[in-house]
Amino acid sequence: MSVRIILVQQKRKFFMKTSLLAKIGSGFFIAWGALHILGGGMILAGLVESPASGFAAYQQSDAEFPALAGAILGYFSYLLICLSIAVIAIGVKFNWRNDKFGLALNTGIVVLVEIGLIVFLLLPGFVSVAEAGIGLALAVLAVVISGIACSREHN
C-alpha cells in the first residue's frame, strides 16, 4: 500500500468516528428535548384538573393556589415544551450533521433552561438532585460529546 492510501484510510476512520460522536451528541439533545416535553406535558395535564394539580409535580399540592399561579405555571410549561421542540429540531437538522451553528444554538437553549432549573427549583429545594439529575446529565452529555465532535471535524 502506498502512503497516500494509508493516509486516506486514516482520515476516513477519523471522520467516521467524528460523525458517530456527532450523532450520539445529537441523540442526547433529542433525549433532553423529549424528557422536557414529557415533564411540561405532565404539568399541563395536571393543570387541566386544577391549579393545585399542576403543582403536584413539585410535591407542593397541599397548599391553596390561586388560579393565576396555575395559569403562570401552565404558560411556563408551554414555553418549556416549545423550547424542547426547538432543541429536538435543531438536533435533527444541525447537530446530526455536526454543524457548529446548531451546537451553539442548542447549547445556548439547554444551558439557559438548566440554569433556570437550578436557580428556581433545585437550589430552593423544590426538586431534588435526583429529580433534576437526568435532565442535567443529558444536557452535559449532549454539549460535551457534540462539542468534541465539532472540534475534531472543524479543526
Q: What is the pLDDT of residues 21-44, one digit of tens each?
A: 999 999 999 999 999 999 999 888
At 17, the pLDDT band (50, 70, 90 cuts) reads low
Residue 127 in any domain: the answer is yes
- In the chain the beta strands, taken as DSSP E runs, fall at none
Q: How many domains does the chain have?
A: 1
Structural domain containing residue 40: 33-154
Share of the chain above pLDDT 90, in %: 55
Residue 99 in any domain: the answer is yes
Long-range contacts of 34-37 (CB under 8 A, 24+ apart): 34/84, 34/88, 35/84, 35/134, 35/135, 35/138, 36/80, 36/81, 36/83, 36/84, 36/87, 36/113, 36/135, 37/81, 37/84, 37/85, 37/88
The model scores a pTM over 0.75:
yes
The pLDDT value given to residue 71: 79
Residue 50 in any domain: the answer is yes
